[in-house]
């Protein structure tokens, strides 16, 4: 299987794309599994995506609009028909979801481990050979598919180099999860050394919001607001976090940093794994590079915050 390029085979009414990605299978699968991820890479070159709703489950619907480089909008609906994490995703493309017959097809995406990387096979199956030939001629679907997989590769390379922190805590996973999600606990550890957290509200459900404040020794306050996108207790939490004011109004990152290279939207994937019996391995992945994290002091800030987290866990365990 090819690395850094797409192998394409057209046979009757089916197009098959194959490519090797130098990322773990879990990361390759994850890039397909939420609208925060797919909006970063989905579609041919020059397209962007706006998601109206996405239910990544068997039978769930993804309702979205693709915005073309020509300024046109293309409505799309996909129904997921089979999901076997992290090995397989099947879906039906329903066109614009309003009865227009064009562009209907079935898709099968297979993820296979290959050493430390992943082999991906993406099949598009159309109603018949003539329909596929028409779409190739009218819309360039095969070239678009190649660009689609190419953009996935660029995004996975970005994710591979994203900011990540891993810590081991001498406490059971359920307790670590509780300390991460209970407002009273969070107020004991949120923020770097010497910072306090005078405010924390958490609505722990998918779609629920959180609103935190960390207060510097100088008295200056830094507020964050976010939304829970995925909660698998006690294994995993995915959030989207923003800068905000005390009333919850979302602010750009430039409000705090005065520059625009720090992202205003932060996607955090936090996992809790059982480690060596009764310990817990905590992993935090954020959707920007380690270089950005170093530039703005995130690594030191997170590590000192997690030192406080360890002390809060010790109190809860005693």
- Assign residue 287 the CATH number of its domain: 3.30.530.20
At residue 2 the predicted structure's pLDDT band, cuts being 50, 70 and 90, is low
> Is the dihedral angle over the CA atoms 23, 25, 31, 34 positive or is it negative?
negative
Q: Decide if 58 is inside a domain.
A: yes
Amino acid 100: pLDDT? 54
Is the domain of 169 the same as that of 311? yes
Is the domain of 148 the same as that of 253? no
Amino acid 110: pLDDT? 98
Is the domain of 13 the same as that of 151? yes
> pLDDT, tens digit, for every residue of 13-49?
999 999 999 999 988 998 998 888 898 899 999 999 9
Q: How far apart are CA 88 and CA 123, in angstroms?
A: 12
Q: Decide if 1 is inside a domain.
A: no
Q: pTM score, two decimals?
A: 0.66
> pLDDT, tens digit, for every residue of 91-118?
999 987 555 555 589 999 999 999 989 9
Nearest to 192 by CA among 109, 300, 32, 314: 300
Task: Check residues 180 and 285 and name the one with the higher pLDDT.
Answer: 180
At residue 228 the predicted structure's pLDDT band, cuts being 50, 70 and 90, is very high
Amino acid 98: pLDDT? 57
Is the domain of 184 the same as that of 156? no
> Domain range holding 190?
162-317
Say if residue 59's pLDDT is above 90.
yes
Q: How far apart are CA 38 and CA 51, in angstroms?
A: 9
Last residue of a domain, one of 160, 182, 211: 160
Is the domain of 155 the same as that of 166? no
Mean pLDDT over each residue of the chain, to the nearest integer: 92
Is the domain of 131 the same as that of 174? no
- Close Cβ partners of 60 (under 8 Å, ≥ 6 residues apart): 54, 79, 80
Say if residue 208's pLDDT is above 60.
yes
Amino acid 243: pLDDT? 95
């Amino acid at each position: 299987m090819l690395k850094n390029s797409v192998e394409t085979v057209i046979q009757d009414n089916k197009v098959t794309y194959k490519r090797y990605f130098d990322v773990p299978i879990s990361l390759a699968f994850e890039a397909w599994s939420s609208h925060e991820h797919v909006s970063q890479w989905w579609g041919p070159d020059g397209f962007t995506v706006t998601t109206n709703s996405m239910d990544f489950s068997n039978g769930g619907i993804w309702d979205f609009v693709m915005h073309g480089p020509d300024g046109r909008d293309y409505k799309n609906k996909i129904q997921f028909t089979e999901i076997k994490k992290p090995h397989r995703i099947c879906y039906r493309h329903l066109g614009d979801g309003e009865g227009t017959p064009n562009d209907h097809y079935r898709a099968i995406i297979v993820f296979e481990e290959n050493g430390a990387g992943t082999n991906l096979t993406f099949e598009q199956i159309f109603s018949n050979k003539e329909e596929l030939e028409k779409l190739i001629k009218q819309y360039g679907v095969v070239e678009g598919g190649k660009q689609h997989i190419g953009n996935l590769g660029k995004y996975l390379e970005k994710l591979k180099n994203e900011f990540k922190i891993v810590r081991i805590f001498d406490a059971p996973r359920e307790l670590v999860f509780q300390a991460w999600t209970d407002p009273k606990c969070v107020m004991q550890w949120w923020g770097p050394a010497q910072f306090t957290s005078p405010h924390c509200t958490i609505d722990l459900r998918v779609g629920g919001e959180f609103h935190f404040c960390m207060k510097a020794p100088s008295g200056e306050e830094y507020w964050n607001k976010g939304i829970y996108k995925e909660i698998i207790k006690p294994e995993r939490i995915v959030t989207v976090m923003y800068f905000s004011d005390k009333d919850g109004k979302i602010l750009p990152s430039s409000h705090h940093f005065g520059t625009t290279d720090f992202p205003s939207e932060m996607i955090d994937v936090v996992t809790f794994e059982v480690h060596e019996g009764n310990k817990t391995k905590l992993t935090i992945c954020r959707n920007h590079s380690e270089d950005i994290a170093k530039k703005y002091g995130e690594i030191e800030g997170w590590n000192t915050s997690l030192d406080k987290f360890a002390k809060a866990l010790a109190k809860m365990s005693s």
